[in-house]
Amino acid sequence: MIPRYSLPEMTRIWEAENRFKIWLDIELLALEAWSKLGQVPPEVVRTIRGRAKFNKDRIDLLEKELKHDVIAFLTSVAEFVGGEARYLHKGMTSSDVLDTSFAVQLSQASEILLKDIDRLLSVLKLRAHEFKDTMQIGRTHGIHAEPITFGLKLASWYEEMKRNRKRLCEAVEQIAVGKISGAVGTFALVPPEVEAYVCQKLKLKVDPISTQIISRDRHAHFFTTLSLIGATLEKMATEIRHLQRTEVLEVEEFFSEGQKGSSAMPHKKNPVLSENLCGLARLLRGHALTAMENTPLWHERDISHSSAERVIGPDATILLDFMLQRMLRIIESLVVHPDQMQANLEKMRGLFFSQRILLALTEKGVAREDAYKMVQRSAMKVWEEGVDFLETLKKDSQITRHLSAKELEPLFTIGDYFKHVDAIFNRVFN
């Protein structure tokens, strides 16, 4: 991922130093396991542990000649260890190191992502309660529907992000598996006890059955989950963009002192952070597709997945880390305009009470279809003539035949739309 969308903590997980460190841990743990089985003298383990190092620049140089990254790594380590290096990589194949290491890196990355989600959840909860009773018109198809509160909108985002957290935990459980089963996965030259020891020490589960690699359905699940989290962030960002439109202007991204919105128009304040998140979510979806296409490989393995994973592993996790932290800052500093929400709520002159009139007519014995036509006739006058909905209803003889003016007026009580907000909040925030 380019530096513009990379944060240091996540980036370090994917740097070569960390990757080679994990590789060395795997090799040394396998060596310890062999020793516990009586196949490697304990003093050899102590000697190798005391000498084992690698040199990144040397590995890069060796790989240019050898055209094999794991062999280049083992050669570099051997140059530090000496003759005892013959005990390293005993019975193993490259994918034992690569796939197990990838599982560790994805697990490390997920720890950061879960922390990001927890911080975002905390801010969403705080601001949802702040605006729990702030009235806002609900919209369907982009058109005024019935009233909600802005707090309910934030609470719905909170609930969705809670589901995303659960999904990520499930995806991590699927991905946090290792394999030390040798070529084609039969344990021909390395016993299952070595695999179990290495995975236990690395806090991974053992893959119950592997070929030469861990099956990529696990990875497809993981990267699809990251994409889904990104889709939630895009949903939130899209809503903020709509609500910041000049004609709506119910919320705004914080516009800092000295910030500029346009190179040409000094008056501009644009929702650039939310727009940025919408674009980045598209990238995440692409990585999910790549992970799915990595699933069908030839026979017990090929390496068509390898090049793709070298990109999507770092890029997807670094990207989502950036996106979560960006959305955290957007919600934290979001400027909310309750007065404008109220003004927009009143813009259609009471039209959103139409369902209440419809139901009141049916309770008076009017057939629903007939009641719908009667209410719609008055509603269309509000759209077309800009008149007041209640006054129009009072002048409609077909309506007043069933509902008097005295009966109509209480139906225009807005508080009834919010009588269950506390119950919804209790369900969401427990």
Q: Which residues are catalytic?
A: 141, 262
Strand-pairing partners, residue 143, are 140
Contact yes or no for 244/268 (Cβ under 8 A): no
State the maximum Cα–Cα separation within the chain, in Å, rounded to a whole number.
102
341: CB partners within 8 A, 6+ apart: 134, 135, 136, 137, 150, 250
Measured in whole angstroms, how far is the alpha carbon of residue 341 from the centre of its chain?
29
Contact yes or no for 226/287 (Cβ under 8 A): yes
Alpha carbon of 348 to those of 241, 248, 388, 389, 405: distances in Å? 22, 13, 8, 8, 20
First to last CA, the chain: 39
* Rounded (10°) CA dihedral 385, 386, 390, 395: -20
Among residues 418, 416, 417, 411, which one has the least CA distance to residue 364? 411
Contact yes or no for 274/329 (Cβ under 8 A): no
217/365 Cα distance (integer angstroms): 58
190/122 Cα distance (integer angstroms): 47
Quote the tokens at residue 203. 């806090």
One-letter identity of residue 123: V
Query: For the chain, how many residues are written?
Result: 430
